[in-house]
């Protein structure tokens, strides 16, 4: 399946390109835009962006695979990223991860069968003072305990 | 009074430009535009302001490295890639008072002659990116950004560039590689970014907190700034405190505050009435201090260096007496193994080896000779064997944990498990 930006996103993309003295610098923002539209960065997305930015598909691939936040495969609708770095560990992040695994019935790196949730553990999210914490899509949820996690997931389930 | 940065943090409307302006935001610009750029740099030099991103380099001196009369475009970059375990203070500035930071960027751009500035923001900080998009748009509407700012003839555009989950991009040359659209690979220095940075043009990379200090310095003068802090570490420092304390959070303290006072008075002491075991004062890239060492250590660059660690970025975390130091080091090593960019062999292999060995010890399969092996591997990662100092940032903590808590590591190996509560 071919990928192209929606007209609205193409306009945003053109705007991004103008911000830099060199076209290829717009690759990171272009990848964000494509991921927003497509959910993940497929081979078609990479080829399309390579064409727009006048770089090789290999250059795009190199960049995509360096950064953890670009999804290299489709994932569940909501991406749950639990911080499991040093400072969160001090405040119990291991228990947070275990609880989410049990509750969702998945291992880290997997999506639920209904495709609603994808569970990851990540390194420091800059929220050490309100640990344990997780990021779901664009939002941080901090000072977690089991009750709070239940509540957050229930709200996402009923939306 | 001991604050320069957080005066308006309790005002929930401080993010809005009208409120910020009523509280003095952008007031320094009139004065700044009546000065020559070189005079602004001189004032910052006199203030003794040092970079708040971790290295503590003198800000004014860094600006002074921009070649004079160069025909090339000059760029300013605001490093908001904050990702060091323990560090979450730049986020507080942006969430609570974003216009102070933008004002600082305008001052810095004017001083170095940049007409374009970028904010490199870590990808996870999506809501903070939204806050800044709004703040930048407001500043444009009020005429503080764009063409001919306040009829000074000075133009400045600020754009945000979102990272995508790579700690190394906080290293300034890796940041440049990422800004240019590639992998976040650090570059060999020299040339330093001030000579050859973004798109091989002169570039200054400053941290969010560093830039946010500039409005105070320009409004009140270098001498007023120097009334805070110590002779060599003037000003205040934002300390982001976490771990086993009663009141974690972001605190603005005068440089030179004793670590013990900070823990007892600001952080409400160690949680659950337990005893202090160790402190990392400046982020995970630096050495751990034992409880005993903390009693002589103060929060300024010199005192921390004197105690064999660093004030770094002010990522301060506390371990109570139940903390397993083997596991502490395992978690620290895991971070560096995950985040090594992979360019240089000592770092790519070394972080992996260290991580594996510590994991082996933690899981009960360690051998007594593993401790010397850890130190040996670490010593082969430091002192200029790699392009950037990322490898040192794991090696130094490793050596400190293993040396200072050696008995605990030995016991862990002997028993094949941890004898402490938190293990």
Over residues A72-101, mean pLDDT = 96
Contacts of A159 (CB under 8 A, 6+ apart): none
Residues B43 and B140 in one domain: yes
Nearest to B167 among A19, A123, A128 (CB): A123
Q: How far is B318 from chain A (nearest CA, A)?
A: 9
- pLDDT tens, B12-35? 999 999 999 999 999 999 999 999
- pLDDT tens, B299-333? 999 999 999 999 999 999 999 999 999 999 999 99
Question: In this structure, what CATH number is given to the domain that contains residue B97?
Answer: 3.40.50.11540
Cα separation, B131 vs B93, whole angstroms: 11
Cα separation, A3 vs A44, whole angstroms: 6
Domain end call among B226, B244, B262: B226
For domain A78-157, say whether CATH 3.40.50.261 is its number. no
Whether B423 shows a pLDDT value over 50: the answer reads no
Q: Is the dihedral of CA B218, B221, B225, B226 positive or negative?
A: positive
Q: What is the largest CA-CA distance in chain B?
A: 73
Does residue B201 belong to any structural domain of this protein?
A: yes
Residues B75 and B206 in one domain: yes
Which residue in A26, A28, A80, A134 has the most chain B C-beta atoms within 10 A of its own C-beta, making it the best mutation to test that interface? Answer: A28
Question: Which residues in B lie closer than 8 A to residue A62 (C-beta atoms)?
Answer: 182-183
Cα separation, B104 vs B115, whole angstroms: 14
Residues B364 and B339 in one domain: yes
Contact B258, B240 (CB under 8 A): no
Q: What is the DSSP letter of B192?
A: P
Whether A7 shows a pLDDT value over 80: the answer reads yes
- The structure tokens listed for B400 are 């400190």
Q: How far is A22 from chain B (nearest CA, A)?
A: 8
Q: How far is A14 from chain B (nearest CA, A)?
A: 14
pLDDT at B264: 97
Residues written for chain A: 159
- For residue A1, name the pLDDT band (cuts at 50, 70, 90): low
Instruction: Give the number of other CB atoms < 10 A from CB of residue B352.
Output: 16
Question: Which residues in A lie closer than 8 A to residue B278 (C-beta atoms)?
Answer: none
Nearest to A28 among B181, B248, B339 (CB): B181
- Residue A25 contacts B, CB cutoff 8 Å: yes
Residue B162's closest chain A neighbor by CA? A29
Query: Quick one: which of B158, B176, B157, B174 has its CA closest to B166?
Result: B174
For domain A7-66, say whether CATH 1.10.3470 is its number. no
Number of domains in chain B: 3
Q: Would you call A119 helix, strand, or coil by DSSP? A: strand
Query: Quick one: which of B205, B241, B387, B397 has its CA closest to B319?
Result: B241
Cα separation, A70 vs A39, whole angstroms: 9
> Could you give the angle at which helices B406-415 and B369-379 cross, rounded to 10 degrees?
130
Question: In this structure, what CATH number is given to the domain that contains residue B241?
Answer: 3.10.20.600
Q: How far is B204 from chain A (nearest CA, A)?
A: 16
pLDDT at A153: 95
- For residue B422, name the pLDDT band (cuts at 50, 70, 90): low
pLDDT at B138: 98
Query: Quick one: which of B72, B121, B122 has its CA closest to B101?
Result: B121
Q: Do A130 and B248 touch (CB under 8 A)?
A: yes
- Cα dist from B159 to A28, B65, B269, whole Å: 13, 24, 41
Residue A89's closest chain B neighbor by CA? B331
Q: Supply the range of the domain harboring residue B279.
A: 236-320
Whole-number percent of chain A with pLDDT over 70? 99
Strands across the sheet with B276-280, in order? B249-254, B236-243, B315-320, B276-280, B289-290
Which residues is B99 bridged to in the sheet?
Answer: none
Q: Which tops the pLDDT comparison, B27 or B1?
A: B27
pLDDT at B420: 82
Cα separation, B192 vs B198, whole angstroms: 11
Over residues B260-288, mean pLDDT = 97
- pLDDT tens, B84-126? 999 999 999 999 999 999 999 999 999 999 999 999 999 999 9
pLDDT at A76: 85
Over residues A46-63, mean pLDDT = 98
Interface ipTM: 0.97
- Cα dist from B156 to B7, B17, B208, whole Å: 27, 18, 18
- The structure tokens listed for A2 are 């071919």
Contacts of A54 (CB under 8 A, 6+ apart): A23, A24
Question: Which residues in B lie closer than 8 A to residue A128 (C-beta atoms)?
Answer: 85-88, 240, 242-243, 248, 315, 317
Q: Do the first three CATH levels of A7-66 and A78-157 match, i.e. the same topology?
A: no
Residues B161 and B116 in one domain: yes
- Residue A32 contacts B, CB cutoff 8 Å: yes
Angle A130-B94-B222 (CA atoms, 0-180°, nearest 5)?
115
- pLDDT tens, B181-240? 999 999 999 999 999 999 999 999 999 999 999 999 999 999 999 999 999 999 999 999
Q: How far is B221 from chain A (nearest CA, A)?
A: 32
- pLDDT tens, B119-170? 999 999 999 999 999 999 999 999 999 999 999 999 999 999 999 999 999 9
Helix or strand run (H / E) with residue B10: none
């Amino acid at each position: 399946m071919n990928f192209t930006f929606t007209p609205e996103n193409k306009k945003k993309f053109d705007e991004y390109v103008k911000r830099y003295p060199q076209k290829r610098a717009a690759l990171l923002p272009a990848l964000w835009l494509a991921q927003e539209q497509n959910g993940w960065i497929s081979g078609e997305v990479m080829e399309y962006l390579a064409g727009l930015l006048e770089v090789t598909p290999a250059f795009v691939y190199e960049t995509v695979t360096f950064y953890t936040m670009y999804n290299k495969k489709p994932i569940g609708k909501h991406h749950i990223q639990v911080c499991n770095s040093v400072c969160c560990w001090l405040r119990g992040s291991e228990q947070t991860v275990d609880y989410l695994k049990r509750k969702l019935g998945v291992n880290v790196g997997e999506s639920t069968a209904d495709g609603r949730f994808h569970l990851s553990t990540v390194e420091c999210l800059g929220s050490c003072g309100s640990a344990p914490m997780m990021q779901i899509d664009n939002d941080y949820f901090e000072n977690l305990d089991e009750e709070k996690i239940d509540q957050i997931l229930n709200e996402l389930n009923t939306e | 009074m001991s604050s320069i940065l957080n005066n308006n943090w309790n005002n929930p409307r401080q993010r809005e430009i009208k409120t910020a302006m009523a509280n003095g935001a952008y007031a320094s610009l009139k004065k700044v535009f009546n000065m020559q750029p070189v005079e602004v740099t001189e004032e910052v030099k006199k203030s003794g302001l040092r970079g708040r991103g971790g290295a503590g380099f003198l800000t004014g001196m860094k600006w002074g490295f921009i070649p004079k009369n160069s025909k090339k475009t000059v760029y300013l970059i605001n490093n908001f890639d904050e990702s060091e375990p323990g560090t979450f203070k730049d986020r507080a500035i942006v969430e609570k008072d974003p216009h102070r930071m933008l004002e600082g960027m305008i001052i810095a751009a004017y001083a170095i002659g940049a007409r374009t500035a970028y904010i490199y923001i870590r990808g996870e900080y999506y809501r903070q990116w939204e806050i800044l998009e709004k703040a930048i748009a407001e500043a444009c509407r009020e005429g503080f950004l764009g063409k001919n700012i306040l009829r000074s003839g000075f133009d400045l555009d600020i754009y945000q560039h979102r990272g995508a989950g790579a700690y190394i991009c906080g290293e300034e040359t890796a940041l440049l590689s990422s800004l240019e659209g590639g992998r976040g690979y650090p570059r060999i220095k020299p040339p330093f970014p001030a000579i050859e940075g973004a798109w091989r043009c002169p570039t200054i990379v400053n941290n969010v907190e560093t830039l946010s200090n500039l409005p105070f310095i320009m409004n009140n003068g270098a001498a007023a700034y120097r009334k805070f802090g110590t002779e060599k570490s003037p000003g205040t420092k934002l300390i982001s405190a976490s771990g086993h304390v009663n009141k974690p959070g972001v605190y603005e303290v005068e440089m030179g505050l004793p670590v013990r006072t900070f823990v007892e008075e600001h952080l409400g002491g160690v949680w659950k009435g337990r005893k202090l075991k160790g402190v990392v004062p400046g982020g995970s890239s630096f050495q751990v201090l034992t409880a005993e060492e903390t009693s002589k250590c103060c929060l300024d660059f010199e005192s921390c260096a004197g105690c064999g660690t660093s004030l770094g970025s002010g990522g301060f975390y506390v371990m109570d007496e139940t903390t397993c130091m083997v596991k502490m080091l395992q978690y620290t090593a895991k971070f560096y193994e995950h985040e090594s960019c992979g360019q240089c062999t000592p770092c790519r292999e070394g972080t992996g080896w260290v991580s594996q060995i510590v994991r082996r010890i933690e899981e009960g399969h360690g051998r007594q000779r593993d401790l010397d092996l850890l130190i040996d591997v670490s010593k082969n990662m430091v002192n200029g064997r790699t392009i950037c100092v990322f490898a040192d940032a794991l090696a130094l903590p490793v050596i400190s944990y293993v040396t200072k808590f050696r008995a605990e590591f030995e016991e862990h190996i002997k028993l094949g498990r941890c004898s402490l509560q938190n293990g």
